[in-house]
Structure 1
Amino acid sequence: MKKIKSTSLKKVLQFAKPYKTRYISVILFAIALSLFAALRPYLLKQTVDGYISTNDKEGLLNYILLMGLVLILEVSSQFYFVYWANWLGQDIVKDIREKLFRHITAFKMKFYDNEPVGKLVTRTVFDIESIAKIFSQGLFMIISDLLKMIVVLAFMFYMNWELTLIVLISMPILLYATRIFQIKMKGAFEEVRTQVSNLNTFVQERLTGMKIVQLFNREEIEYKKFQEINAKHNKAWLKNILYNSIFFPIADIISSLTLGFIIWYGGLDILSGSGTTTFGDLFAYTMLISMLFNPLRQIADKFNELQMGIIASDRVLGLLHTENQIQNTGTTVAGHFKGDIDFENVRFSYIEDEEVIKGINLNVKAGETIAIVGATGAGKSTIINLLNRFYEIDSGTISVDGTNINQFTLESLRRQIAIVLQDVFLFADSILNNITLNNPNITREQVIDAAKEIGVHDFIETLPGGYDYNVKERGVMLSSGQRQLIAFLRAYVSNPSILILDEATSSVDTYSEELMQNATEKITEGRTSIVIAHRLATIVNADKIIVMDKGLIVEQGSHYDLINQESGYYKNLYYSQFAVESTEEDI
C-alpha cells in the first residue's frame, strides 16, 4: 500500500499541474470551510454565556446576525470547495482517459491477441471513474476533514481544556477501529475491482459471440457460468457492506458515549458552582463533538474511496506505462507509392521460438496483382500484417519502392495501404461515415462517384436513407456480402497505392460475388494488389501466384505455369478444390 501511495498517487497528482490555480483554490476553500465551521459553535457559546444569561437582547441580536453571516460564508465555502474539487477531478480524468485511449490505440496487435477486451473497457471506463473519486470524495475531502478536526480541537482547548481531555481519551479507540476498518476495506476493494473486471470480460465476450452461444445451444451453460462469476462479484460486495455495517455503529456508539460523559462531567461542574464549565460550553461541545467525530468516522470511508481510486490508478497507470507500441521512429512521410514491394529473408514469430514466417524472399513489381494461396496457418495473412507493421518482424527487411518500411512514419505508411478483410467491421453509424471513417477530406460527392464507378451505388440507394442508413453495431443490419461491398468502397475512396484483399469473397452470395468481382477489377486497376484467397478460381488471372506452406514460399508463378507443374503443390490444391466445388454444384 505504501508503494502505491508514493508512486501511483504522486503520478496521478502530476495530471493536476495544468490546473494549479484551481488546485490551490480548492485547498484555500477547504481552510476557509474548516474555520467557519468551527467558529459557529464558539459564537454559540459566546451567545449563551454573554447575552442569553445576562438577558442582553441587543447583543443577542447582533450575535445571531453574526452567526448567520458565518453560516452563509461556511455554506459558500462548502459549495465552492465541493464544486471545484469535482470539477478538477473530472478534468483530470478527462485528460487521463484521452491519454490512455491514444496510448492503447498505438499498441501492437499482439497486445490485443492476449488482453481481454472487457478488461480494457474496465480500465478505460470504470477504473478511470474511480480515479475521479480521489479528488471528489477522497484526497480533498480528507484534507478538509483533517483541517476541520485540527481547528475544532484548537477551539475546544481554548474554550475548556478539561472537557477536551475527556474527548481526547475516547479518540484512540475510534482511531484504532478506523485503522482496522481501513485494512479490511483495502482487501475488500481489491477483490471488488477484480470481480468487476472478470464480470465485464465475461459479459463482453458472450454478447460479442452471442451468435455462437445460441447456435450451439450454450445458453444454459453460459448462464450457469455467469451465475458463478456474479456470485463471486456479489460476495465481494457483501464483504464490503459487512465491514461498513460493523464500523459505523461502533463509531456512533463511541461518539454518543463521549457526548454523555461531557454532559455528565460538565453538568456536575456547573452544579458545583466552583467549576470553569459554562452552559455555553455544553451547547458548544454538543456541536463540536459532532464536528470532531463525524469527520474522523467519515475519513475512514473517504480513505477507502481514496484507496479505491489509488488501486484503480495503479491499474490505469500500469496500462499507460505498458510499452507495447510499434516503434514509430520513421521520419519519412510516405507519398503515393509506385508499389514495388520486397521481402528479404523475413522471419517472424507470434510466440518466441515458434516461427510462422521462416525466411521468405518475395518481390512484387509496381502495378502487379499477386495472389497468395496455401493451407490455413501457412502464413498468408501474416504477410499482410507485417507489411502494415501491425507486428514487428524478428529479422530481415521489408521495403516499398526501395525504402525500408521502418523509415516511414506509421500514419503515412498505412495511409497508402488499404485492406479489405473477410470479416468486415462496421461501426454503429451511417454508411457514409463507415466509408469515409469521418475523414473530412473525402466528400459525399466523391463517395457517390466512387460507388458508381465500382458498381455499388444502386445497392446503397435501395437501403432506407441510402448513404445515411445506420448499419447499427458491427453492421448487423447488412448481410455479409453487403458489408463486403461497403469495405470495397471504403478501400477505393482512400485511393491507396497498395491494395490488399484478404479472403474478401470467400463467404458471399453469387450476386454479391459478381458485384465484388467487378469492383475488384476496378479498384486493382493501375495499383499493386495482393489477393489472399481460399477459392483458387478467383485468382487465376493474377500476374503471379505465391504458394505458401508452413511459413515458406514453396512455389510461385502464373496460374498456367503452376498448373502445369507435375505433382506441384498448387496443382494438387487447385484440382482437389475444383473437384469439391464440382461435387457441391452437382448436389
Structure 2
Amino acid sequence: MAYNRYFEDEKMENLDPNNIKRVLAYLKPYKYRVALSLFLMAMAAFADLLGPYLTKIAIDNYILAGDYRGLTIISLIFMGLLAVNGFAVRFRVLIMSKVGHQVVRNIRQDLFQHIQNLSFSYFDSIPAGKIIVRVMNNVNSLQNLLENGLINIITDTFRFLAILLIMLNLNLRLTLISITVMPILIFLIFLLKKKIRIGWRRVQKKRSNMNAYIHESLTGMKITQAFVREEKNSNIFKDLQNDYVSNWMKTVMMSHGIFPIVLLINTASVIIMYLVGIRDLNAGLVTIGTLVALLQYIWRLWQPIINISNFYNQVLVANSAAERIFDVLDTDPDIVDLPEAKVMPEIDGKVEFKNVSFSYEEDGEIILKDMNFEVQPGETIAFVGATGAGKSTIINLMTRFYDIDKGDILIDDIDIQGVKIASLRKQIGVMMQDTFIFSGSIADNIRYGNLEATREDIEEAAKMVYADSFIREMENGYDTEVNERGSRLSVGQRQLISFARTILSDPKILILDEATSSIDTQTEILIQKATQAVLKGRTSFVIAHRLSTIRNADRIMVLEAGEIIETGSHEELMARQGHYHDLYMAQYNRVI
C-alpha cells in the first residue's frame, strides 16, 4: 500500500448512500427516545398549524361580527397553542441533543477500538494526522444530522403535506395557482446536488491534509527549530489552509445558494396569491379570513422546503464524513487470528525460522530471503548488520506485527500463524528502538504492560536497569507526571523507563532492539551486568550497532541483504576474520 502524504488527497471509492443508513443504525438503542422526540415535534407542528386556521375563524366569525367574547376565547386557545409549541420544541431539543452526543460517542468508540486492531501496514500507509481527523472531525460532522436532521426531515415532510392539504381544503384554486413555481425549485436542487456532494468530499480531503501536516509539524518541532525551518513550514501550512478555505468557500456558496433560490420562489408564490386572491376577494370567491389564512400558510408551506433543502446539505456533509469513518471501519486488519487459532501455551522459548521470505509491499523489495535458523530455549542471539539488512524485520515477524510471505516461524515447534495473536505477544517482551513514553506518571509507564504489578515490582524493575536513582531524584519520584512522548525526559532516561517496562512484563522471550543505543557508556556497563540475570533462563534476541555490547551472546548472526552470511560466537567470528571481524575492528579502531 503506497504511503499517502500530507499534501496528497486520499483516494475514495464512489460515495455510498448506504453510509447514512449505517449511521442511523446507531440510533436503534435509542428508538424510544427518538419516538418521543417525533411525538413532541408532531405536537409542536399541530399547535403551529392551527394558528392560521384560528386567525381565519377569528376574522370571519368574530371580528367582523363584533363578538369580543368569541375573540377572547380564540385568543386564549391561540396562546395555549404557543405554549404547547414552545414546550414540545424545548424538550425535543434536549432529548435529541443527548441522543446525538451518545451516538457520536459510540461511533467514536467503535472507530478507536477498530483502529487499535489494525495492522502496522495500515499505519505505514496513512499519516497519523489524517486518522485523527476521522476520529474527531468526521465523527463530529455527524452530530448535527443526528440531533436535528433526522427528526426535522420527518416532521417537515408531514408538515409540508399537512399544510398543503389544509390549503387545498380552504381554497383549491388559489393553492394550485400559488404552487405552480415549485417545479422550478425541484429542478434547480437536482441540478446542484452532484456538485455540492463532490465539493464536500473535496473539503474533507483538504481538511485531512491540513491536519496531517499539523500533526507532523508538532511531532518534529525540535527538528524544525534546530534547522530554522519555521518560515518555510509556515508557508507550507499557509498553502494548505488556502487550499482548504478555497474549496470550503466554493462548496458553501453552492450549498447556501439553494436558500436564496427558495426564498425568491417563495416570494413569487406569495405575490401570485396576493394578486389572484385580491381579485377573488373582490369577486366574492374568497373570504377575508380565508385569504389571510392562506397567506400565512403559504409562508409556512415553504419553510419545510427550506428546511428540507438545508437537510439535504447536512446529508451531503454527513455522508462525506461517514464515508471516511466507514472506510476505516471497513478496513480489515492484515494480521488476524485464524478461525481455528488456539491459545499459545506457556512457552519454553525455542524459536525456529524455516525458509522464511518477506517483503513489506506486494511485489516489493524482498527483505528476508529463505531465512533459516534455530534457537534453543535460554539462548541469547544477537543480530548484526547494516541498516536495512533485515534485523528489525525478523523481530516484527516473530511477534506477528507482519505476516510472512512464505515459510514457517515456529515457537516450541508450534506455528505462530495458528495461535491467537494476543496469547503470543503476551509472552514476548519487546523493547523497540523508538521508545515511547505515554503521558501520565513514571510508575504508570513502567506498569503499562503489566497492570497487576505492585509498587514494589515497579521499583524492582527500575532498579534492575538502574533507573531507580534518577526517578527518585525527580520532584514526585515514581509519581512524577511526564508529558506525551516523555519530552521532559532525556533520551537515555526514556530508554531506561522503557527497558524497565519490558522487564516488568516478565516475558518468556525477550527482544532488545537497540535497547542501549542512547545510554552513556557508564550506565550501559551497569545495564549489561543487570541484564545478564534478566536474560538467564529466557530466550533473548538482541539487535545492537554497538558491537561491544553483544560479545557475551551465545550466537551472533550477521545479516546482509536479508540473508544470514555468518553465525557463531564472538570469539568464533573474530577467529574467522570475516565480515563480523571487519565490522568489529572498524568500530573498535574508531573508539580507540
- Does the 8 Å CA contact 2:410/2:416 hold for their aligned counterparts? yes
Q: Does 1:302 align with 2:311?
A: yes
- What is the deviation of 1:333? 2.5
* Distance 1:401-1:234 versus aligned 2 partners, 3 A rule: same
Distance 2:215 2:142 in 1: 23
TM-superposition CA deviations, 1:278-307 (whole Å, max 9, x none): 2x2343234322222122123222211111
Q: Per the alignment, in what secondary structure is the counterpart of residue 482 of structure 2?
A: coil
CA distances 1:244-267 after superposition (whole Å, capped 9, x unpaired) = 564433332332333233334333
What residue in structure 1 maps to residue 521 of structure 2?
510
Read off the aligned partner of 2:290 and give its amino acid letter. Answer: D
Pairing 1:140–2:151 present = yes
What is the CA–CA distance in structure 1 between the aligned matches of 2:530 and 2:366, rounded to whole Å?
36
Q: CA deviation at 1:477?
A: 0.5
Of the three residues 25, 46, 50, the one matched with 1:35 is: 46
Alignment partner of 1:367: what SS? coil
1:187–1:453 Cα change, 3 Å? closer
* Aligned residue number for residue 473 of structure 1: 484
- Alignment partner of 1:555: what SS? strand
Counterpart Cα distance in 2 of 1:158 and 1:336: 81
How has the CA–CA distance of structure 1 residues 3 and 477 changed in structure 2, closer, same or farther, with 3 Å as cutoff? closer
Q: 2:460 aligns with which of 446, 449, 452?
A: 449
Which one-letter code corresponds to 1:513 in the other structure? E
What does residue 581 of structure 1 align with?
Answer: 591
| Matched position secondary structure for 1:250 | helix
1:316 to 313, 316, 325: 325
Once the two structures are superposed, the pairs formed by residues 411-560 of structure 1 within 5 Å of their partners are: 411-437=422-448, 440-560=451-571
Q: In structure 2, how many angstroms separate the alpha carbons of the residues matched to 1:38 and 1:100?
A: 43
Paired residue type of 2:318: G
Task: Check conservation: 1:133, 1:306, Cα contact below 8 A.
Answer: no
What amino acid sits opposite 2:120 in the alignment? M
Larger mean CA deviation between 521-530 and 107-116 belongs to 521-530
Letter in 2 for 1:300: S
- 2:97 maps to 1:86: yes
Task: Tell me, in whole angstroms, the C-alpha distance in 2 between the residues paired with 1:86 and 1:3.
Answer: 31
Take 2:22 and 2:255, find their aligned partners in 1: how far apart are those partners?
30
Show CA shifts across 1:385-416 (max 9, x none). Answer: 00110000111111112211123211121111
The answer to whether the aligner puts 1:343 opposite 2:353 as a matched pair is: yes
- Give the direction of change, closer, same or farther, for the CA distance of 1:176–1:551 in structure 2 (3 Å limit): same
Aligned to 1:371: 382
Asked whether the equivalents of residues 258 and 309 of structure 2 are also in contact (C-alpha less than 8 Å), the reply is no
CA distance in 1, matches of 2:291, 2:13: 41
| TM score, norm. by length of structure 2 | 0.92
* Amino acid in structure 2 at the alignment position of 1:333: V
Aligned: 1:393 with 2:404 = yes
SS at match of 2:177: helix
Deviation at 1:453, TM superposition (A): 4.0
- Structure 1 position 526, deviation (Å): 2.5
Answer yes or no: is 1:55 the counterpart of 2:71: no
1:382 matched to 2:393: yes
In structure 1, distance between residues paired with 2:225 and 2:48: 61
Aligned-residue Cα RMSD (Å) equals 2.3
Change (3 A) 1:283 1:513: farther
Q: Equivalents in 2 of 1:439, 1:22: separation in Å? A: 42
Deviation of the 1:487 alpha carbon: 0.4
Equivalents in 2 of 1:400, 1:2: separation in Å?
41
> What do the CA deviations read for 1:96-124 (whole angstroms, capped 9, x no partner)?
22222222211221121111212211111
Q: Write out per-residue CA displacement over residues 293-341 of structure 1, whole angstroms, 9 at most, x where no aligned residue.
A: 1221232222111111112112211221112331212643334421111
- The residue type equivalent to 2:152 in the other structure is M
Relative to structure 1, the CA distance from residue 384 to residue 2 in structure 2 (aligned partners, 3 Å threshold; closer, same or farther) is: closer
Cα distance in 1 between the residues matched to 2:267 and 2:525 = 83
1:60 partner letter: L
Give CA deviations for 1:320-367 in whole Å, capped at 9, x if unaligned. Answer: 111233121264333442111111111111122321111111211111
* Alignment-mate amino acid for residue 445 of structure 1: E
Q: Equivalent residue of 1:396, what SS?
A: strand
Instruction: Output aligned runs, 1:246-285, within 5 Å.
Output: 246-272=257-283, 274-278=284-288, 280-285=289-294
Partner in structure 1 of residue 228 of structure 2:
217
Are 2:292 and 1:292 aligned? Answer: no
SS of 1:377's equivalent? coil
**Which residue identity does 2:44 align to in structure 1?**
L
Task: Give SS of 2:481's match.
Answer: coil
| Structure 2 counterpart of 1:69 | 80
| Contact 2:450–2:505 (CA under 8 A) maintained in structure 1 | no
| Deviation for aligned residue 1:139 | 3.1
- The reply on whether 1:233 has 2:244 as its aligned counterpart is yes
Bigger mean CA deviation after superposition, 304-313 or 522-531: 522-531
Unaligned runs of 5+ in 1: 583-587
Residues 209-257 of structure 1 show CA distances to partners (whole Å, capped at 9, x for unaligned) of 2223233332222222222211111111221343356443333233233
Q: CA deviation at 1:375?
A: 0.9
Distance (whole Å) between structure 2 residues aligned to residue 211 and residue 29 of structure 1: 56
Q: Conserved in 2, the CA contact under 8 Å of 1:358 and 1:552?
A: yes
| Partners of 1:550 and 1:439 in 2: CA distance | 37
TM-score, normalised via structure 1 length: 0.93
> Do the aligned partners of 2:409 and 2:415 also contact (CA within 8 Å) in 1?
yes
Report the Cα distance in structure 2 between the residues aligned to 1:51 and 1:293, rounded to whole angstroms. 29
The match for 1:325 is 334
Residue segments in structure 2 that go unaligned for 5+ positions in a row: 1-11
Residues 248 and 367 (structure 1), Cα distance of their counterparts in 2 relative to 1, 3 Å cut? same
In the alignment, is the contact (CA less than 8 A) between 2:47 and 2:85 conserved in 1? yes
Secondary structure of the structure 1 residue equivalent to 2:369:
strand
The one-character-per-residue Cα deviations of 1:155-188 (angstroms, maximum 9, x if unpaired) are 1112222331232123223333333443442232
The 3-state SS of whatever aligns with 2:359 is strand
Q: Is the 8 A contact 2:449 2:505 kept in 1?
A: no
TM-superposed CA distance for 1:438, in Å, is 7.8
What SS does structure 1 have at the residue aligned with 2:440? coil
